Every structure is written in structure tokens, then in C-alpha cells.
Structure 1
Amino acid sequence: MTIARPHSERYWHEVETWPRERIEELQTTMLRKQLEYVQAHSAHYRRQWRELGFEPGDVRTPADLAALPVVTKADYVASLAADPPWGSMLTAAPKDVRRVHFSSGTTGAPTPVCWSDFDLDRWADLYARVGYSQGVRDTDVFQCLFGYAWFVGGLGATLGYQRLGATVIPGGSGDTRRQIDTMFAYGTTAVSGTPSFMLHLAETAAAAGTPLTRSKVRAIQVGGEPGAGVPATRRHIEEHWGARCFDGYGSLEFQPIAWECEAQAGGHLVEDFAYAEVVDPDTKKPVPDGSPGVLVLTHLDKQASPLVRWWTGDIVVRDTARCECGRTHARLPGGVIGRADDMLVVRGVNLFPSAVEQVVRRTPGTTGEYLIVLDREVTDPVTGYLTGIKLRVEAEPSVPPDFADRIASAVRAELTVRCLAEVVPEGSLPRSTHKTKRVVREA
């Protein structure tokens, strides 16, 4: 499809408001072409599909993709080992690869994902759509506070906001004091970064007597961890910045996946870039709209590293109703609810860290910082199953003596799990400029 410039004062591309039927027709056309391309150029998929007796022509509608197995991170790593360093999933000749980004995880060897010239142009245009939908224009000053070293988000945002026409300051996720000074000196009006870094910047600025509510920032795009999708966290960020906070969602493999518009009612899936399925984590069967499930994605026009039925591991809820902003692409209310692989099961209750965050951050007296600790006190010694959670919460000096009991009671009442709460002094829990680790296991 053709890469566009602003379609109107409100929408970057006309596809954002197409009727659902037209979007589905577009997805079907793009998917058929994409599957033929993947079969012709990917040794991995060609071999897998041959063994399954599958042909691209077997897909008459996107729903027919369900006949194929999901592809996991382990599958991707195996493809790299089989044909290093690029892997057997690569569909572009190495000479046509223009960009390589690597996973920012801390376990295992970094995994590469590649972009062609077309992929980079597409990426920039989609990120421009992100900023435009949140009111950023070519008169704005955008300061990117995502990391750049080995991290995909920073350069994606930089590409997009440059495409949009904004003045871009690629700040990165370090030099906190300098970031704050730069915002005031150059009149930064829009920023992006992780929720943790946004709160860290606000905390540092307030302590220095220069609260960010005095800055010109009016739009904050966050991603990389639960943030604007958690109402209490969104409110916390907006109060400390005096600006609107929008949830963004992407991954190394799919950039971007979804983002919030001006309505702040859940991120819009980029349905002209990726076909999205929401499936039961155990059966892999589709779940109805409004029910939680794992997001599975298929590229519709990626050239260098396309993926078919990629298992994101992210738990989401999809809503295909038209948004009040007029956009028709499906939304993910609440953003990413949690990870299928970091979900805690406490006496049969499925518990995600983001649910605990919601309770903590809307409780007056906390700084919003917390840590979920899993140790012997909350683990059955025979089965090893969790019997509850232990929660370390930072609190302001003025909280009452029974504050820990209040927090524990709030968690028990709302999340129906046993909770042992411990109050720690303000500033004692570690801060992160990247992705904050919220769950730790202690002996």
C-alpha cells in the first residue's frame, strides 16, 4: 500500500477510519500476497509449510491462519542457530538489510530482527501516525527519552516524529538532570519513554524545585512496561507532569503494535500492518472480543523479517467497536494486562503485576514504587505453590503506623489473594530508566 502524508487535520492516513469490512478486505489481500512472499523467501516457513501440507492459497480469509502453528521466541532462536547469524526466517538478502536491532532482554544471546528500506519507511510512517493521533504537529519539539543503546524503541520514535515534521531531540534514557534542563531550555512539548523513567524524571525535577508541571510538555507517550494502561499509573504521571499520558505498545518484532489516540480509550491496533488474533493461552483457539487472551500477530507487508502467527505472550482484551475519535481499528482497552509467562497463580487466582500496581498507585501515601517478593513466607513448602504475595511499598514519612495493614487489606479485598505488606522508606527501592523489574524471588 502507498505510504501517505497527513490525510486531514485529525488523521494521518485515511485507512484509520475505513469501515471494518474494508479493513478486513485489505487484510485479506495483503495477507495472500505476504504469504506467497514468505513461502518464496523464507527457508524456515517453506520447510514448515511443506511438512504441514500448507499452501498460501489455502488462506481464503485471515481466520484461516489458525490452521498454522504459532511461532515462539524459542522457534526464532532455533532458526538463528540453524543458519547463523541471520537465521532461516530472514526473507531478504543480507545486502538488502538496512537496519538490525537486537532484543533488549537479559537472558540468552541477543536475537536480531532486520529491516529493509521499505520496512524503515513503513516504520517511520506508522510512528508518525502515533504522534499525529495524539496531537503532535510539525510545530512541536519532541524529546525522545527511550533508550538507544541496543533498544528498538528510541530509533523508531525518532524516525516517526521526524517524518511528522517535529523538531526531534534524541535524549535517550540517561542524564536525568540534563534531560530536565533541556526540556525547559528548548521548550519541549512532547516526550516518550518508559513509565518508570517518566516518574523518575518528575521526582527528580520536583526535588530540585523545578516541577515538570511548569514545563511546556503537553503529550507523553509511554511504552515498554505497564503504564498508561493502568489508570492509577496514568493519573500519577499526568499529575506530576501536568500533561496527557498516552499508552503505547510495540515489540522488537512488531513496531508499533498499538497506541492510544486523543480519547485515551485503549491502544488502536495497526490493522493495516499486522493481522491480530487473540487466543486462549492453552488451547490456542480464538476468544471472543472482550475476553482476555494472548495476542498473536502476523505481518502484512514486512520484507526483511516477516513473522506468521507470532506468539507475543502478552495478555490483552480486544474491542472492535468504533472509538469516539472516529477510528475504526480495533483497540486494546487496558493495554497489555500482563504476560502469559509472568502471570502469578496464587491459590488458583491468576494475578498480574499490573493489577497490584493499580492498587498501590491509587493509594494515597505511597510514592507509587513497589516490589512483589516471592519467598518462603508466601510459598507452600510441600508443593511450591504460592499461597500469597509479599509486597514492599515505598511510603511517604507521614503515613500512619498501620499503613502496611491498609495496603495488604486493599490487595486482599480487590484481588482476592493473601498479601503481606512491608512499608519501606521513600527512595529506598531501585529506580530504572528502562524497564523496571517488579517481581523478585528470594530464598
Structure 2
Amino acid sequence: MYWNEAKECMERNELQALQLERLKQMVTKIYHNVPFYRDAFQKLGVEPEDIKSLDDLSKLPFTTKQDLRDNYPYGLFATPMSQIVRLHASSGTTGKPTVVGYTRNDITTWSEIVARSMACGGADHNSVIQISYGYGLFTGGLGAHYGAERLGSSVIPMSGGNTEKQIMLMKDFGATTLACTPSYAIYLAEAMEEMGVGLEEISLKTGIFGAEPWSESMRAQIEKKLNIKAYDIYGLSEVMGPGVSMECECQNGMHIWEDHFIPEIIDPITLEPLPYGEKGELVFTTITKEGLPLLRYRTKDISMLTAERCKCGRTHVRMQRVSGRTDDMLIIRGVNVFPSQVESVLLEIGEVEPHYQLIVTRNGNLDELEILVELSEKSFSDKISILESLEKRIMNRISSVLGISAKIRFVEPKTIPRSQGKAVRVIDKRNI
């Protein structure tokens, strides 16, 4: 189903003409209103008039999270504070947060793209959507909330935490769609089982999950444990918030709403643009944002773009599920390792729970990787010989997929800390 068919199915030539028109307008606006960008243009010898085609995007400067921090709090805003109606900020663990400002039009745009996204995931005006993303400075809760209301759905603004109440209200209020992080969806499923709440007692049909990388194997686990269809949604606060892209019913990549964002894939080392079909760092240019428009924002997320028309009829390019981030990518003995790769192996093998942690240490000059793997209740009662066989299978598969050896340590069921937000997957104890 479509929320805005005219925009979602626009022919590519029309869509690109709209992008160019909006890009030119935005470049002119930020050049005259944001000193940071004006200085960056001048250093590159570029003027707004130089942007004559979408290919000229490569002439423009990149923007990084550090640029936002260096201009904290409002230095990159392109409109006066009198026109900013809402502020959000990142939950970064180091340095100052990145502050995002929204005009009234920005909120309207955001609500529109989230409504489109939720419709991609099967929601409509008859849906009851339980939003279990955190509310507050984090963009997840309020972003999903406004979009669900724009769609005409009934909204349960639960926020995160308070798991028993989440489940009680999910059952009593007849929630049909769950919006939260994938790791929290697994946690809710486990808690339901412990509380004795059967799947026949809830009305969930779909889930819209994002805010952290997750694998196809985890999708299968969620769909099985909650008996729903699980969809991937993508966004980040600096670019807008949730709803920058979303999977449709085909579950074959997330449609990026290109009438508002121009995506690129670049080589994170050379910074050169890469063609469709090649994996690299995802970069976004916003072309309708008023409060905080961004040029070529480096997300640090690793993905790939495809421009082939989707079977659903939507024409907007699709991005592959994020496989990791360049800044949380582990380099162990010269090998790039993403937690999502480990997750895929564990869930592919089965017999263990989808909860794990990567512990990285350095012994002398040698990095060592230990993977804590949580056993299922059934596996925990198995004979030692069976567990030894399972350990060997996991070790061999990890070695094959990652290209490095890792120590596997089984832990008892429910001993790895559960998260009601983003799961803590990596503990890096190296002094690097």
C-alpha cells in the first residue's frame, strides 16, 4: 500500500529534476545563511551557481558529526531560532551532543516521510501502533509518533522500558504494530513467554524496527517469536530522524525518500563516489530541511544502493540493510569485524539465544576476540560432549566468515545484560 503514491512512484526523470531544483535552492540558502558552509565553499573555490546538474554534487564539501559538535549548539542552523519549533540531540557517548533544529515545515516533512514508511510496513488508519522507542531528545519516539498520527493510526506512546506494562497494554489495547529496536523486540518476546502470555492473546501483525544494525537471521527470530512480519526502518537524527528510508513488503532493501534526501555511497578512504551496487559509506544531502540542512553528511554507516525498480512499484532507490559502521567496526589482527556478522553466524547455527557480546583484549601485541554466547534453556541442559561439538561448529563458522579465530564462551541463559534501547554488543578492553 502507498501513503503518497504520486511521490513514491514518481518516474526517475521527474524525481531527478525535482532533486536538482531543490538542491540548487538549498545550496544557495546555506551559502548565504551558514558561515561554516560559506567558508567551506570558498576553500574549494565553489559557488552556488556552479551546481548545474546532480553530478555537480561531488563538487560540494562533506559534513561530519565533528562539524556539528564544533559548531555546537546552533552554528549550523540556517534559520533563526524564532523559527525553530523543536530541538533534538544525539545520545553520543563522547564529546558534545549533535543538536538538531526543526522548523514547523520540517516537522511536517518528517511526519510525511514516517507516514510513508509505516505504510510501507503495512500500517494504515486502522492500525494500533505501540511506539516503544524512547521519547525525549532521541528522535525515535517522537519521530515515529508524529508519523503514525499523520497516517491516521491509533498511537500508544509507550516509550522504552517498563516491559511488563508494555506487554499488558499491548494485549489490552490491541496493538497491531510494534515500533522499537530489534533487540528490544526479542526481549519483549522473551518476557511474554516468562509472563505466560501466548501469541494468541496479542494482535500484533507487523513490527517496524530500527536504530541499530540487525541481521536477516535476527529478522527470522523476531518473526518466529512474535508471529509478525518484521520491517527495517532507517534514519539518523542529523539527517532527520527515523523515516529516511524504509523497507516495503518485498523486504529487499529500504526505499530512500529521494524527494527529500540525495544519497551517495563513497569509499570511506578515498572519499570518491562509488556506483550503484558497490558497498561503502552512506552519505546524505538534505534538500528540503530548513532548520538544519546538511550537505553530503557522512553517516559512517556501511551500505549499498540499488536503483532497480522495486516490484512494489516505488521508484526511489533502495539501500541495503546497514552491515555496520566505520566507527564501530572492529579491526582485529588486521581484519575488519562487524558485530552483525557474528550475529548472523550464531542465529544461522541455532541452538543458542540471539544474545551475545564481543570481548576484545590485547595480549602483548596480539588482539584476541572472545565471544560470549548465551545458551538456550534446552542447550544448557545438554551433555558436555554436545556443547563441545556446538562450540567447535561456532568456532569453525566464525573463522570461515570473519577470517580470524575467536574463543567461544558459553554463558547461562539470561546472563547477558538485556537492553531496552540499543544493545551493547562490543566491549573493547584494548588500550588503543
TM-score of the alignment, normalized to the shorter chain, above 0.5: yes
Counterpart residue number, 1:86:
74
Residue 263 (structure 2) pairs with residue 283 (structure 1): no
In the alignment, is residue 366 of structure 1 matched against residue 352 of structure 2? yes
Aligned partner of 2:330 in structure 1 is 344
2:340 aligned residue: 354
Shift of 1:169: 0.7
3-state SS of 2:236 partner: coil
**Which of 389, 407, 414 lines up with 1:420 in the alignment?**
407
Aligned twin of 1:266: 253
- Counterpart of 2:285, as a letter, is T
Give the match for residue 245 of structure 1.
230
Q: Which residue of 2 aligns with 1:60?
A: 52
Kept after mapping to 2: 8 A contact 1:365/1:396: yes
1:221-257 per-residue CA deviation (whole Å, 9 max, x = no partner) reads: 0011013xx1100000100110000001100112332
- 1:114 corresponds to 2:101: yes
Equivalent-residue separation in structure 2 for 1:413 and 1:433 (angstroms): 32
- Whether the aligned pair in 1 keeps the contact of 2:111 and 2:147 (CA below 8 Å) is yes
Instruction: Give a deviation string over 1:163-196, Cα, whole Å, max 9, x none.
Output: 0000101000111000100011011101100011
- Answer yes or no: is 1:170 the counterpart of 2:150: no
Aligned mates of 1:306, 1:221 — CA distance in 2: 26
| Cα distance in 1 for residues equivalent to 2:124 and 2:395 | 45
1:395 to 2:380 alignment: no
Answer yes or no: is the 8 Å Cα contact 1:127–1:156 preserved in 2: yes
How far apart, CA to CA, are the structure 2 residues paired with 1:153 and 1:425?
A: 32
Alpha-carbon separation, structure 2, partners of 1:99 and 1:397? 47
* 1:375 match: 361
Residue 306 (1) aligns with residue 285 (2): no
Is residue 69–residue 97 contact of structure 2 (8 Å, CA) maintained in 1?
no
Partner of residue 30, structure 2? 38
TM superposition shift of 1:277:
0.8
1:234 aligns with 2:235: no
Provide Cα deviations, 1:96-151, integer angstroms capped at 9, x if missing partner.
10000011122222221000000000000110001112221111111101001321
**Cα distance, 1:40 vs structure 2:** 1.9
1:131 — aligned with what?
118
Q: CA deviation at 1:11?
A: 4.3
| Distance in 1, Cα, partners of 2:330 & 2:91 | 23
- Residue identity in the other structure for 1:75: D
Displacement of 1:162? 0.2
Among candidates 10, 17, 25, match of residue 18 of structure 1: 10
The residue number in structure 2 matching 1:5 is none
Q: Is the 8 A contact 1:213 1:242 kept in 2?
A: no
Aligned counterpart, 2:316: 329
Per the alignment, residue 317 of structure 1 pairs with 304
Instruction: State the one-letter code of the partner of 1:77.
Output: R
CA contact (8 A) 1:409 1:419 kept: no
Aligned to 1:75: 67
CA distance in 2, matches of 1:348, 1:214: 50
Alignment match, 2:42 = 50
Q: Which moved more, 1:278-287 or 1:22-31?
A: 22-31
Does 2:428 match 1:441? Answer: yes
Secondary structure of the structure 2 residue equivalent to 1:321: coil
Q: Is the 8 A contact 1:337 1:354 kept in 2?
A: yes
Following the alignment from structure 2 to structure 1, what is the Cα–Cα distance between the partners of residues 267 and 329? 14
Contact 1:101 1:151 in 2 (8 A): yes
* Structure 1: distance between partners of 2:219 and 2:61: 36
Residues 101 and 240 of structure 1, relative CA distance in 2, 3 Å threshold: same
The amino acid of 2:349's aligned partner reads T
Listed as ranges, the gaps of 5+ residues in structure 2 are 380-385
Partners of 1:442 and 1:10 lie apart in 2 by 47
Q: Alpha carbons of 1:406 and 1:213: their partners in 2 closer, same or farther (altered >3 Å)?
A: farther
Higher alpha-carbon deviation: 149-158 or 105-114: 105-114
2: CA distance between counterparts of 1:303 and 1:208?
47
Q: 1:253 to 1:180 in 2, by over 3 A?
A: same
Contact kept in structure 2, 1:127 and 1:157, CA below 8 Å: yes
> In structure 2, how many angstroms separate the alpha carbons of the residues matched to 1:213 and 1:49?
59
- Match in the other structure for 2:148: 161
CA displacement at 1:214 relative to structure 2: 3.7
CA distance in structure 1 between the partners assigned to 2:145 and 2:317 by the alignment: 25
Residue of structure 2 equivalent to 1:3: none
SS state at 2:52 partner? coil
Shift of the alpha carbon at 1:398? Answer: 3.2
The C-alpha deviation readout for 1:60-79, integer Å capped at 9, x for no partner, is: 12221212231111111112
Is 1:293 the counterpart of 2:280 in the alignment? yes
| Contact kept? 1:213, 1:241, Cα under 8 Å | no
The separation in 2 between residues aligned to 1:207 and 1:124, in whole angstroms, is 36
Q: CA RMSD for the aligned pairs? A: 1.5
Aligned counterpart in structure 2 of residue 98 of structure 1, from 85, 108, 111: 85
| Unpaired stretches in structure 1, ≥5 consecutive residues | 1-8
Letter in 2 for 1:64: D
Deviation of residue 349 (structure 1)? 3.0
State the SS of the aligned residue for 1:286.
coil
TM-score, L = length of structure 1: 0.92
